[in-house]
Amino acid sequence: MIEAGFACRAIVRNGKTLPGGVESVAGDILDPSTLAHAVTGVSAIIHLAAVLRTPEADDIWRVNLEGTRHLIDAARMHAPNVRFIMASTGLVYDADGTRPAREDDPCDPQMPYPASKVAAEALVSKSGLNWSIQRFGFVYGDADGHIAMLPRLAGMFGWHPANRLSLVHHRDIATAMVLALTGAMDGQSVNVVDDAPTSIYELTQIAGAPVEPSAEPLSKPWFGQLDGGRARQLGFKPAVRTVYQAVQEGLM
């Protein structure tokens, strides 16, 4: 965002460091008293804070729902004209879909993380703020370790090697956020994905630990795939179009 010319302020906990040029504000979305200074004077809020990989469902709900509520309240009180952009997930969609998931498909997930995101999305869309929501495919890149985790996740959840995941590189989360800051996504939920859903088998190969191949029929052929048509209609063009481009350009 700094490279795109935006002045950036970030809420951080525990003295974490930030890239050069980013203003740091100590705070916590679970502590409303720390949020007023963070949001005062800003023109946009990009809400990325979330809890995912923990067995503690209460922690997931507390951060993802109540933290979002606190941030909305702070924005309404101290920055009512702000553009509020929330990061969400493609996991909100039904795994038994009959095609790649679209933004107007029903969402009724049962796992705590996506369920908490659906609840938080509802808060955002009813907040009275100028809002948009981005539902990301499987996020990876820039040494975040997510692709490396896929062999373990595939075994844990019994994913079929032929299932394909819609992906999005970290750099294209920035691409999508820059577009949202223009107002192109105002009042909408938007799937943000690259150009090529990629099979679990290929992804685990890239991770160096391919799952066992299989010719068994897929029971959930569209699991993990998102329709990115709305984002493209709004002007989104991924800079990292496929995971293979990321491999070739050293962006993993």
**In order of start, what are the domains of the chain with their CATH numbers?**
8-248 (3.40.50.720)
Q: Which two tokens stand for residue 249?
A: 């350009």
**pLDDT mean for each 10 residues of the chain (252 residues):** 92 85 94 96 97 93 98 98 98 95 95 97 98 98 96 94 97 98 98 98 98 95 97 98 98 97
Q: Sort residue 196 into left (φ over 0), alpha (ψ -120 to 50) or beta.
A: beta
Give the span between the Cα atoms of 122 and 124, in whole angstroms.
Answer: 5
Residue whose C-alpha is closest to residue 89's, from 146, 12, 28: 146
Cβ(156)–Cβ(185) below 8 Å = no
Cβ(128)–Cβ(77) below 8 Å = no
pLDDT of residue 67: 98
Q: Which two tokens stand for residue 235?
A: 């002007």
Positive or negative: CA dihedral 56, 60, 66, 70: positive
pLDDT of residue 17: 83
Give the span between the Cα atoms of 192 and 203, in whole angstroms.
Answer: 19
* pLDDT (tens digit per residue) in 100-154: 999 999 999 999 999 999 999 999 999 999 999 999 999 999 999 999 999 999 9
**Maximum separation of any 2 CA atoms in the chain, in Å:** 57
pLDDT of residue 19: 87
Cβ(84)–Cβ(47) below 8 Å = yes
Cβ–Cβ contacts within 10 Å for residue 72, how many? 23
Q: Could you tell me the CA-to-CA distances from 23 to 7, 11, 19, 182, 235 in Å, in that order?
A: 8, 9, 9, 22, 29
Strand-pair category, 198-199 with 164-165? antiparallel
Residue whose C-alpha is closest to residue 164's, from 106, 134, 204, 111: 204
pLDDT of residue 247: 98
pLDDT of residue 16: 81
Residue whose C-alpha is closest to residue 171's, from 70, 105, 242: 242
